[in-house]
Amino acid sequence: MSHILVAKDVTKQFGSHTALKNVSLEIPKNSIYGLLGPNGAGKTTLIRIINQITYPDQGSVYFDGELLKSEHIAQIGYLPEERGLYKSMKVGEQALYLAQLKGLSKDEAKKRLKYWFERLEIGDWWNKKIQELSKGMAQKIQFVVTVLHEPKLLIFDEPFSGFDPINANIIKEQILSLKEKGTSIIFSTHRMESVEELCEYIALIHKSEKILDGRLSDIKKAYKNNIFKIGLETDNQEELVREMQDKFDVLAQEYNSIEKQLNITVQLPSNQSSEILSFLGSRANVNGFVETIPSANDIFIKTIQNKNLDNE
Amino acid sequence: MNKLPLIIKREYIAKVRNKSFVVMTFLSPFLMVGMILLIAYLTQLNDNDKKVIGVLNDSSYFSNEFVTSEATSYINFKDISLAAAKDSTLSLGFYGLIYLPDEPNLEQVAQRAFFYSKDAPSATILDKLENSITGRLRQERLREMGLSPKEYAEMDRRYNINIETFDGNQNIKGINEIKAIIGGAFGYLIMMFIIIYGGFVMRSVIEEKTSRIIEVIISSVKPFHLMMGKIIGTSLAGITQFAIWIVSGAMLLFIGLAIFDIDPASLTKGSGMTPGVANGANVDVDALTQNIQLYAQEIFDLPIFAMLFFFIVYFVLGYLIYSSIYAAIGAAVDNETDTQQFIFPVILPLMLAIYVGFFSVFSNPNGPIAVAFSLFPLTSPIVMLMRLPWGIGEGGVPVWQLITSILILIGTFIGIVWVAAKIYRVGILMYGKKPSYKELYKWLKYSS
């Protein structure tokens, strides 16, 4: 598989502070790649290096197979976390200016802006000043400006901050449709629920180092620990619980008296689900049998906690 | 690279469309002209305010001394007592009363003479009275030594020294003042432009920081291009403003002078610029026109084109140096209130240059202080321009000094822009804390 962006052993210092330490990443084409990490981990520095706002002290970055160079700026769209627009400039003029800075001609920029403004139903804002718009409205303009030059790689740093749920959803749909059209997307956030929804791949950066990366489903598989949740219907629940505690590693149990259901959480040695099923089959009705998959949030917290423990 | 014109254009338009800029551009000429007209009017008013002084002359001397002139008129009291004269002076609202008692000889009259006034009298009036009396005393003393009044008049004729330079050009008094005014105007213009438009550059950088658009922009263009585009765009807006001011100001001034019927010559009178003309009452007409021709000749002989050329060179370099510093300051801070500690050291050399110019360069254009400050890069744009009206080469600024000064300025320009660009590119992405000088120094060492 080819990659839109490859970083090799990227290191960046600011004075005595190391912002990135030997970070290597491979971002596949046409995917949404989640760049995760706590505040101050080095995500923004990495993104700034990709945007050539700053340059690595060591290591190299390749864009679409070539060593990153200034011509690539026109191929990248960046929505920074710290974002804003000229407050006293009119929406249309401002969008045209920013599009031209990305290398679009004025006519082309105008055409595409018209398309996007119609698509997001904001056409009548053209002659308004930014200071007359609400924060969410300005964010929409900002989004349009970011994607207008149809870059191969889009980088969104916390794209949903400042949006209400309805507009956040509109933007999410636009991001997904851009991906459908073949754009590769780097998505930096610490809001894990949007990671679950959008990202195919993730990388976790912590204290200037990459501590985890790969396909999200693979990572989840690696992080699952054979814990199952079982819903049972039985007349003799107390005895069943006792028997199960003898045979298996029961982590928790509770009885829901309304649904008349016994819920048991059990840790199994790997791949022994058939054994417990046959054991239960003769004793109770099995209403539910689910392996608990860790959420991205769990993985995030667990990995970082482990890392911190290792360091101590 | 082709993005620089785009940035310049945006900065220019953003500045020119700004409401306060438009208001200032169109209001300032009216304010300036209004002020000039007011000054002219007040000067005329002042001239018209004649002082009336009563004279009680009981002596047998001073019959011709106190004659009504342009600025003062004298009213003679006759055959009344001093007390009555004082009362009349006061009730008639005169400025004061000069009393000359009846004494046997002039010396004693002078010794016993008094000037009475309501408040402490003005120095000008006292001077005048004292001069009149001193003149009479001199005449009397000389007469006692055997000099006839005719001989005395002959003796008192004023003398004007002839001036010539070593290479034989005829020179006239007051030309140095003209040169100083021209040089001072150039220097002052540069200082004002730097302070005003450097401030604009700084505020524009701060605006980009506070509106958080900066990161969006520098993901498309290099910070250096953004900084230079901003500096150039803002200065073009400034030049536009100056051009509008000069054109409309000149027009308004002419219109104003025509409407209020003010003689432009009355504005220059008394400024010390044309002493020969000012006390021209006893200079004959031929000499006067000759003088005027000489002045015209001298002004014409000033190295106008060289001065304009070097004005542009020093203006551009000086402005670029200072506005890059202003841009770096804007990048280093988060809001305008934090700029004070950095701005003062920037304005200091500018003020110094102006003061050195006025107090040292004009009296000694080629003295060591003038030379030193016209070589030092942060003051040279102002000080060198103040020296230039005295010519280039022989008798004026030596060519080596001019070249050295420009070379130092160019070197400084490169160095300062490099430093400023470094601070700028680190600073624009820094939020939250007000940096110290130590911190700024640390930024210089960051690799890009």
| B157 at A interface, C-beta within 8 A | no
The answer to whether B442 contacts chain A (CB < 8 Å) is yes
CA distance A249 to A252: 9
pLDDT at A110 > cutoff 90? yes
Tell me which of A20, A86, A148, A153 to substitute to probe the interface with B (most B C-beta atoms closer than 10 Å).
Answer: A86
Q: Which chain B residue's Cα is nearest to A85?
A: B213
pLDDT, residue B407, reads 94
- Cβ–Cβ below 8 Å for A101 and B3: yes
* Residue predicted with more confidence, B271 or B48: B48
Best interface-test mutation with A: which of B3, B215, B428 has the largest number of A CBs within 10 A? Answer: B215
Q: Which residues of A touch B (CB under 8 A)?
A: 13-15, 48, 51-55, 57, 70, 73, 76, 78, 80, 82-89, 97-98, 100-102, 142, 145
CA B422 to chain centre: 38
A85·B215 Cβ contact <8 A: no
Q: Does B22 touch chain A (CB under 8 A)?
A: no
Confidence of residue B156 (pLDDT cuts 50, 70, 90): low
What pairing do the DSSP bridges indicate for beta strands B170-171 and B163-164? antiparallel
CA–CA min distance B196, chain A (Å): 21
Written as one letter, the residue type at B402 is L
pLDDT in tens, A231-289: 888 777 788 888 888 878 888 888 887 878 888 888 887 767 777 888 887 778 888 88
Q: Which residue of B has its CA nearest to A103?
A: B3
ipTM: 0.80
- Inter-chain CB proximity B429 and A53 less than 8 Å: yes
Asked whether residue B276 carries a pLDDT value surpassing 50, the answer given is no
List all residues 6 or more positions away from B58 whose beta carbon is below 8 Å from its beta carbon.
Answer: B99, B100, B101, B102
Nearest-Cα distance to chain B for A49, in Å, is 10
Give tens-digit pLDDT for B335-392: 888 888 888 888 999 999 988 888 887 778 788 888 899 899 999 898 888 888 877 7
Instruction: Please give the pLDDT value at position A47.
Output: 92
pLDDT score of B282 more than 50 = no
Nearest-CA distance A145 → chain B (Å)? 10
Check A82 against B211: CB less than 8 A apart.
no
| B326 vs B334, higher pLDDT | B326
B212 in contact with A, Cβ within 8 Å: yes
pLDDT, tens digit (0-9, with 9 covering 90-100), for A171-180: 899 999 999 9
Going across the sheet that includes B72-77, the strands are: B72-77, B51-57, B96-100, B114-117
Given an 8 Å threshold on Cβ–Cβ distance, is B14 in contact with A73?
no
Mind telling me how many Å the CA of B325 is from chain A's nearest CA?
21
Q: E strand or H helix at B1, and its extent?
A: none
Is the pLDDT reported for residue B272 higher than 60?
no
A104: nearest CA partner in chain B: B3
Does residue B434 have a pLDDT over 50? yes
Please indicate whether residue B242 or residue A27 has the higher confidence score (pLDDT): A27
Contacts B446 to A, Cβ<8 Å: 14-15
Q: What is the chain B residue with the closest CA to A89?
A: B14
Tally C-beta pairs within 8 A across A and B. Answer: 67
B132-146, B263-277, B362-376: segment of lowest average pLDDT = B263-277
Domains of chain A are: 3-221 (3.40.50.300), 225-291 (3.30.70)
Q: At what angle do helices B340-356 and B304-332 cross, to 10 degrees?
A: 160
Question: What are the angstrom distances between the C-alpha of B269 and each of A146, B13, B150?
Answer: 65, 43, 33
Q: Which CATH class is domain B50-157?
A: alpha beta
In this predicted structure, which of A292-296, B254-258, B380-384 has the lowest mean pLDDT? B254-258
What pLDDT does B294 receive?
66
Start-end of CATH 3.40.190.10 domains in chain B: 50-157
Of all residues in chain B, what percent are helix, strand and coil, respectively (each to 5)?
70, 5, 25
Alpha helices by DSSP H, chain A: 43-50, 91-101, 106-119, 135-147, 165-180, 192-198, 216-223, 237-247, 273-281, 296-311
The reply to whether residue A83 touches residue B216, judged by beta carbons under 8 angstroms, is yes
10 Å Cβ neighbour count for A70? 10
CB–CB of B212 and A87 under 8 A? no
Give the residue-averaged pLDDT of B95-121: 84
Which pLDDT value is given to residue A35?
Answer: 92
Which has the higher per-residue pLDDT, A296 or B198? Answer: B198
Q: How far apart are the first and last CA of chain B?
A: 19
Confidence of residue B67 (pLDDT cuts 50, 70, 90): confident
- Which residues on adjacent β-strands are paired with residue A205? A210
The more confidently predicted of residues B266 and B246 is B246
φ/ψ of B279, rounded to 5, equals -100, 45
Q: Is the pLDDT of residue A205 over 50?
A: yes
Write down the pLDDT at residue B295.
Answer: 66
> Is B221 in the A-facing interface, judged by CB distances under 8 Å?
yes
Instruction: List, as one string, the DSSP characters of A8-59.
Output: EEEEEEETTEEEEEEEEEEEETTSEEEEE--TTSSHHHHHHHHTTSS--SEE
Residue B310 sits at φ, ψ, to 5 deg, of -70, -30
All residues of chain A having their beta carbon less than 8 Å from the beta carbon of residue B213 are 83-86
State the pLDDT confidence band at A212, using cuts at 50, 70 and 90: confident
Q: Which residues pair with A32 in a beta bridge?
A: A185
Per-residue pLDDT at B174 exceeds 60: yes
Element (H, E) at B121: none
How far is residue A188 from each of residues A80, B214, B227, B273, measured CA to CA in Å? 10, 19, 29, 72
Min Cα separation A225/chain B (Å):
43
B211 closest CB neighbour out of A14, A53, A85 = A85
Q: Which is more confident, A109 or A291?
A: A109
pLDDT for the residue B274:
41
Q: Please tell me the distance from the alpha carbon of residue A228 to that of residue A197, in angstroms, as a whole number.
A: 23
Please list every residue in chain B whose beta carbon sits closer than 8 Å to the beta carbon of residue A87: 207, 211
Distance from CA of A30 to the nearest CA of B (A): 22
Mean pLDDT of chain B: 80
Q: Which residues of A touch B445 (CB under 8 A)?
A: 15
Give the residue carrying structure tokens 């006519």: A107
Whether B215 and chain A come into contact, CB under 8 Å, resolves to yes
The residue in chain B having the minimum alpha-carbon distance to the alpha carbon of residue A58 is B447
A43-47 CB contacts, 8 Å cutoff, 24+ apart: A43/A157, A43/A188, A43/A205, A44/A81, A44/A157, A44/A188, A45/A12, A45/A19, A45/A20, A46/A7, A46/A10, A46/A20, A46/A205, A47/A78, A47/A80, A47/A155, A47/A157, A47/A186, A47/A188
Whether residue B436 lies within 8 A of chain A, CB to CB, comes out as no
Q: Does the beta carbon of B219 lie under 8 angstroms from any beta carbon of chain A?
A: yes
Which phi and psi (to 5°) does residue B257 adopt?
Answer: -65, -40
Q: Is the pLDDT of residue B270 over 50?
A: no
Answer yes or no: is pLDDT of A42 > 60: yes
Q: Which residues of B fall within a CB distance of 8 Å from A52?
A: 219
Q: Among A139-143, A233-237, A291-295, which stretch is predicted with the lowest mean pLDDT?
A: A233-237
Question: Does residue B218 sit at the A interface (CB-CB below 8 Å)?
Answer: yes
The answer to whether the CB atoms of B211 and A142 lie below 8 A apart is no
Inter-chain CB proximity A87 and B3 less than 8 Å: no
Report whether pLDDT(B292) > 70.
no
In a 3-state reduction of DSSP, which class is residue A100?
helix
Tell me which residue in A73, A89, A98 faces B14 most closely, judged by beta carbons.
A89
Please give the mean pLDDT across all residues of chain A. Answer: 87
Provide the shortest C-alpha distance from residue B383 to chain A (in Å): 39
The answer to whether B20 faces chain A, any CB pair under 8 Å, is: no
Contact A145 B446 (CB under 8 A): no
User: Which tokens sit at A66?
Assistant: 């070539």
**Residue B235 pLDDT greater than 90, yes or no:** no
SS3 A241: helix
Taking the Cβ of residue B6 and every Cβ of chain A, the question of whether any pair is shorter than 8 Å is answered with yes
From residue B115, alpha-carbon distances to A155, B11, B72, B130, B196 in Å are 91, 67, 15, 10, 53
From B14, B216, B222, residue closest to A80, measured CB to CB? B216
In chain B, the percentage of residues whose pLDDT exceeds 70 is 85
Model confidence pLDDT, tens digit, residues A113-136: 999 988 888 888 888 888 888 888
Q: Report how far residue B242's alpha carbon sits from residue B345's, in angstroms, rounded to the nearest whole number.
A: 26
Inter-chain touch A51–B14, beta carbons under 8 Å: no
Q: What is the percent of chain B with per-residue pLDDT over 90, rounded to a whole number?
A: 10
Contacts of A49 (CB under 8 A, 6+ apart): A7, A10, A12, A20, A55, A56, A61
Contact criterion met (CB below 8 Å) for B353 and B314:
no
At A265, which helix (H) or strand (E)? strand A261-267
B412 or B442, greater pLDDT: B412
Q: What is the pLDDT of residue B261?
A: 62
